[in-house]
Amino acid sequence: MDTSTLSAQLQRFNCLHPAAAHMALQVPSEKIVERVVGRRMDPETGEIYHLQYKPPPKEIEDRLIQRSDDTEEKVGGSSSVFTRLFMDEWHTTVQQI
């Protein structure tokens, strides 16, 4: 889905509000992969944990699952696609600070 289609759908459902500013963070791809690949979900509560940054309680570790899209293969492509779509849509208004 391209960003103009997404924007139109969000407007239709009144989910898009004008923002005074947008912020784009430059994060190394390795860090994005590290964050996503370490994510785990508790299927009973829906709570999200991270193996390094927000470790789960020991008593629930065995029931945690890794979502199918939280893999290095999946995130590698989606982060670059998102970056390209973001910059294509808002490149005229982005200022480097």
Averaged over successive runs of 10 residues, the pLDDT of the chain (97 residues) comes to: 64 59 73 90 96 96 92 69 57 53
Judged by DSSP in three states, 6 sits in helix
Query: What is each CA distance from 3 to 9, 10, 19, in whole angstroms?
Result: 10, 10, 16
CA distance 18 to 2: 19
pTM over 0.85: no
Q: What is the pLDDT of residue 79?
A: 52
Q: What is the pLDDT of residue 38?
A: 93
Q: What is the pLDDT of residue 6?
A: 64
Q: What is the pLDDT of residue 57?
A: 97
